[in-house]
């Protein structure tokens, strides 16, 4: 059995991340969402390759990309408005050759990134979605993502660690996290912990549930 440290990636491969963006862009209603997630590509940004240590410098997925994407929250009030998302999408569209999103697409993105479904899109929710989008590339997990989840540094992710690492998902969210964890764990050995490959699969399932691809 492989621990999480055995094959973690030092960075998210741009080509693999681009495939995620293209997959989202293939659905018209998700075009604006893919534009925001493509911002890292437009700016030449990848997730950090810092070693996965027990004492993580990041307490959440949002923290991993906060330095690069804090500009989206223009007034720094912790809330992303439709106007801020529109301006970000317009800027990204100029760099990566996307069309400026329509009103309906923008409304869809606001709902998609509102992870806890409370009607308000926070900066942390948007940043968490961006980090989740690039967390896994060709079954290799970004090292900073590992460090957010594997708090004790033992090379495995427990249910408690998994539920703490995935951001709040609103009504039924905790049950969904538990289902994803148990589903992946039971397919292999049902040992109540996720090794590297299992954790990668759990992150992919979480991304599908949250972002739709």
Region 51-63: mean pLDDT is: 70
The number of folded domains in the chain is: 1
The set of residues, in sequence order, having a beta carbon less than 8 Å from that of 16 and lying 6+ positions away, is 137, 138
Domain span at residue 95 reads 14-48+60-211
Q: Which CATH number is 18's domain given?
A: 1.10.238
Say if residue 142's pLDDT is above 50.
yes
> pTM, whole model, 2 decimals?
0.77
Residue 97 is assigned to a structural domain of this protein: yes
Which of 4, 37, 12, 22 has the alpha carbon at shortest distance from 210?
37
Residue 3 is assigned to a structural domain of this protein: no
Which of 123, 116, 104 has the alpha carbon at shortest distance from 30?
104
Residue 55 is assigned to a structural domain of this protein: no
Task: Give the Cβ contact number of residue 204 at 10 Å.
Answer: 17
pLDDT digits (tens, 9 = 90+) for 88-131: 888 777 777 667 778 888 899 999 999 999 999 999 999 999 99
pLDDT digits (tens, 9 = 90+) for 37-52: 555 444 444 444 433 3
């Amino acid at each position: 059995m492989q621990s999480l440290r055995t094959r973690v990636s030092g960075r998210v491969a741009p080509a693999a991340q681009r495939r995620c963006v293209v997959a989202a862009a293939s659905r018209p209603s998700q075009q604006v969402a893919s534009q925001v997630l493509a911002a890292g590509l437009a700016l030449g940004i990848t997730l950090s390759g810092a070693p996965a240590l027990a004492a993580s410098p990041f307490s959440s997925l949002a923290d991993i990309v906060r330095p690069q994407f804090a500009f989206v929250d223009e007034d720094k009030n912790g809330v992303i408005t439709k106007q801020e998302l529109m301006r970000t999408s317009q800027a990204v569209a100029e760099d990566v050759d996307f069309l400026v999103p329509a009103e309906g697409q923008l409304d869809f993105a606001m709902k998609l990134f509102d992870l806890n479904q409370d009607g308000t899109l926070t900066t942390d929710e948007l940043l968490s979605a961006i980090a989740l989008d690039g967390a896994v590339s060709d079954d290799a997990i970004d090292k900073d993502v590992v460090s957010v989840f594997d708090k004790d540094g033992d090379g495995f992710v427990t249910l408690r660690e998994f539920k703490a690492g995935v951001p709040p998902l609103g009504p039924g969210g905790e049950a969904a996290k538990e289902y994803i964890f148990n589903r992946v764990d039971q397919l292999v050995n049902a040992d109540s912990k996720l090794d590297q490959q299992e954790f990668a699969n759990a992150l992919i399932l979480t991304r599908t549930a949250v972002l739709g691809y």
